[in-house]
Structure 1
Amino acid sequence: MDDVTPLDVVVVDDDPLVRSALSLMLGGRSRIRVVGEAADGQAGVALVERLRPHVVLMDIRMPVLNGLEATALLHARPDPPRVIVLTTFDADEHVVGAVAAGADGFLLKDTPPAQIVEAIHRVADGEAMLSPSATRALVTQVRAQAPDDRAGAARQRLASLTAREQDVALAVGAGLSNAEIARALHLSVATVKAHVSRLFEKLEVTNRVQIAILVHDAGLA
């Protein structure tokens, strides 16, 4: 997105204190507008259908409809919003489910405000936002559920990439943004975006989170 258009955000969490804190924190940020709040996944989906926000901050454990089911419903829409899952990681298996549901980011609920703001901007631009702790928890859980040959399969898939595409994949696995990858590899942002698009095609993945999992599975991060 451009640097002028406001980013509309919906907060979905069953804890009214969390909703209030996030809305208050984001309300003072330029370009970000909290346009609605919901206390469960079902109400959140209905709110998104009505307000059509750019980004949704989604809790996992909620009554009526949990955050994973709500994320999957939103991801299936023709023009889905970006979804950032907020979690305490008291149940890591839910994070794996969020990947399958189509979440674009993972953050701990105690993430500093500046990083939450950065995450909103990054996912709105089509990137992913993985906190280091989220990545570790996600990879640990995936590996625990995976067969013994997962590492070999991941290395084989990454071997199909060119050397430069592998460089970009490793950077994505490290959680770098397109701009950070461009600086690190001395490329233009447009070139990085083109490489990432090819990674999606070659690796048969739908988001950067899944690229990060492959990189970690291959033992390269």
Structure 2
Amino acid sequence: MTKRPARTRLLPADRRAQLVACAVACFADHGIARATQAQVAERAGVSVSAVYSYFRTRADLVTAVLDAVAAAIVAMVEEADVPAAPLRSALSTLAHHTADMAVEQPDTVRVWLDWSTGVRADVWPRYLLLQGQLQAHVRAILAREAPASPALNSAARLFVGGAHTLALMRFEQVSAAELALFIDQMVGGTLAALRPDSSGMPLPVP
């Protein structure tokens, strides 16, 4: 039997934040489709009814978890952006921050990865909204040096797609050298996709 932590009296906003944090951990462990209010209550050391008092349905709980995950990822991207940095450096910094998030906030990233597989689930439209936000942010970074590129959208998609691979590599615990090589190739590939020549083939990036 898992021993519950001692209960403490918290303000409603603090209790809700605690429950959301515990729910993110539960969703990381059990998956978006399988995590329950009972598991959240067990982890938080409260009664199941206490969880229901904040999240009346499981759908409410899922919404709260996905909102928290999306907010954390968007915040990471915004914090990693250095507007004055050269394009290659800005992309490299963002890639490193993405990889580091898998170490610093592993539960958040695990939920994000699970979320990305829910193509047929009711959470999928909200995942596409998050992807759109991330792609828009990367597109804005790319547009600082190539505002007229017809490949802005595809280059941004390429970079955001690489972020998933970075997270998986972190969980795979690849070496620092292998991770650095992938980031260099990921950034280089994004820049090459951004600057196609007249034949539609990417130009070499110095």
Q: Same fold (TM over 0.5)?
A: no
TM-score normalised by the chain length of structure 1: 0.29
Question: Greater helix percent: which structure?
Answer: 2
Question: More relative contact order in 1 or in 2 (CA 8 Å, sep 6+)?
Answer: 2
Larger radius of gyration: 2
Question: Greater strand percent: which structure?
Answer: 1
TM-score normalised by the chain length of structure 2: 0.30
